[in-house]
Chains A and B, each alone.
Chain A
Amino acid sequence: MAMVYGDRSTSFSSQVLTFHSSAKWNAHFDALKQTNKLMVVDFTASWCKPCKVMDPVIQEFADKFRDVEFVKIDVDELLEVSQSFQVQGMPTFMLIKKGKVTDKVVGVKKEELQRLIEQHRK
């Protein structure tokens, strides 16, 4: 199930969602609260090189973990959203289930992120 929001094209396949307005993000966040689905949000910045290292990894995880939702948020574009999650370093991955942040990974940590995804997706 890949629902594509936003009126701008995403730079990834439809498996990794992106949001360009906080209203659409909030609506999506609220909708997902009602489900048991794990959502992994990748907070990135276009100018942050460490973020680029994780881009292909997130794509790989999105292909592998079909029952998990992957979202990419640009901190400059959705400043209020990244501030509400208190994002300081990038990339930051927030693991969210039923509207709550169950875990987070800050920095390029592929194995740690994979371990937490496997732990929380059940």
Chain B
Amino acid sequence: MAVSGFEGFEKRLELHFFGDDPAIFPLGLRKLDFESLEQVLEAVQCTVVSAVGNSYFDAYVLSESSLFVYPTKIIIKTCGTTQLLKSILPLIHYAHHLGLTLSSCRYTRGSFIFPKSQPFPHTSFKDEVTYLQDTIPSNLCFRKASIMPSKSSSHSWHVFTANDSAHTLPHMPYDHDNELLFTMEICMTELDPILARKFFRRPEDGRSGDSAGKEMTKLTGINEINPEALICDFAFDPCGYSMNGMDGDWYSTIHVTPEDGFSYASFECVGSVNDSIAHVLRKVVQIFRPGTMSISTTCNGFSNDMWTQMASAVEPLGMKCRSFAMDQFPAAGTVVFQTFTARRKSV
């Protein structure tokens, strides 16, 4: 592991809003001016690199990860040393102008590779929770903070949730087709160096980040994870890759920091508990061949089946499940945190 380098592990924030004025809908938060979004991102210290929208949501590729804007929810995921929590107050402010109030907040992250490089309040989970407690409005009175462990002290899953008691979430984790959904966040480190090289730009290729990104999506097989999804991709100079996928109202997102010594890749998506996620998991493992991987799934209710399905999907690819932790969060649902390591052949 390098002494210092780019921090791939993201901080993720999901905010839900509520509004009872029918005039706000169907657009809701999608009515936020682009200028307002830029101001929010400025507080976080990142910028928009690319964007695309469909009838359900808008997806933005940022200089340090992604932003998704739905009518009643916003998801921001940022890496590096960004100050993600600083987006909360401006978002509450702008949403208020639209007649929307915050009803739920969920903050999650893995363990930083370079924790000492993080700015306050990301200096520790304790500092983050204190900041969140002070920032989030008091109407979100059902709160919980938890560090979910694995067998390694350097790989934990940190979760903070806060909800408004009047608006419990049963209706939220369903999509417009009324399917029960789960969110899956995969974090991978020690990527196969040969596969990671595909995320480096060829020197002086004379191409734009957009077209180089498109090429990387095809070359790596990322477009085969979900062939139905519309992909908005970008390749950073000299290396690094980001993409947002859109499939109806389901999003997916991938971010890659390919440098040896601190290589990292994340894959996140929304899925239906009725569908098999095995194909997706297998493709992701094949694209990155990580040394270590964690899978965190959040759902309002699904069978034990789901987790054994996930473990058995990646087992044939040499990923062995090393730990399993489960915790329940008021109104946000059940979070399961599993870690895996590759059974490598010694050279």
Of B116-124, B206-214, B287-295, the one with at least 4 CB within 8 A of chain A: B206-214
B33: A residues at CB distance < 8 A: 49
- Helix, strand, loop or mixed for chain A's interface? mixed
Bound CA span A109–B230, Å: 14
Give A residues with C-beta under 8 Å from B: 45, 47-53, 88-91, 105-112, 114-115
The CA of A95 and the CA of B58, in the complex, are separated in Å by 23
Question: Given that A50-B60, A53-B48, A89-B232 are contacting pairs, would A111 and B210 also be in contact in the complex, using a CB cutoff of 8 Å?
Answer: yes
Chain B residues with CB below 8 A from A109, complex form: 50, 208, 210
In the complex, chain B residues 199-228 whose Cβ is within 8 Å of any chain A Cβ: 207-211, 214
Interface string of B15-42 (1 = CB under 8 A from A): 0000000000001001111100100000
The reply to whether A107 and B50 form a contact with Cβ atoms under 8 Å apart is yes
Q: In the complex the two chains form, is A115's CB within 8 Å of B208's CB?
A: yes
Contact: B52 with A106, CB < 8 Å? yes
Q: Is the CB of B208 within 8 A of A51?
A: no
Count of chain A to chain B residue pairs whose CB atoms are closer than 8 Å in the complex:
67
List the A side residues contacting B191 at CB < 8 Å: none
Q: Are B27 and A47 in contact (CB under 8 A)?
A: yes
B58 touches A48 (CB 8 A): yes
User: Does B53 belong to the interface (CB within 8 Å)?
Assistant: yes
How far, in angstroms, from A111 to B33 measured CA to CA in the complex? Answer: 23
Taking a contact as CB atoms closer than 8 A, the residue among B50, B54, B69, B246 that contacts A49 in the complex is B69
Q: Is B51 an interface residue (CB 8 A)?
A: yes
Which residue of chain A has the shortest Cβ distance to B31 in the bound complex? Answer: A47
Q: Which residues of B contact A91 (CB under 8 A)?
A: 52
Question: A19 to B346, alpha carbons, bound, how many Å?
Answer: 65
A111 x B34 contact (CB < 8 A):
no
Report whether B53 and A48 are in contact in the complex, using a CB–CB cutoff of 8 Å. yes
Q: A50-B52, A50-B60 are in contact. Are A89 and B209 (CB under 8 A)?
A: no
A90 to B59, CA, bound (A): 10
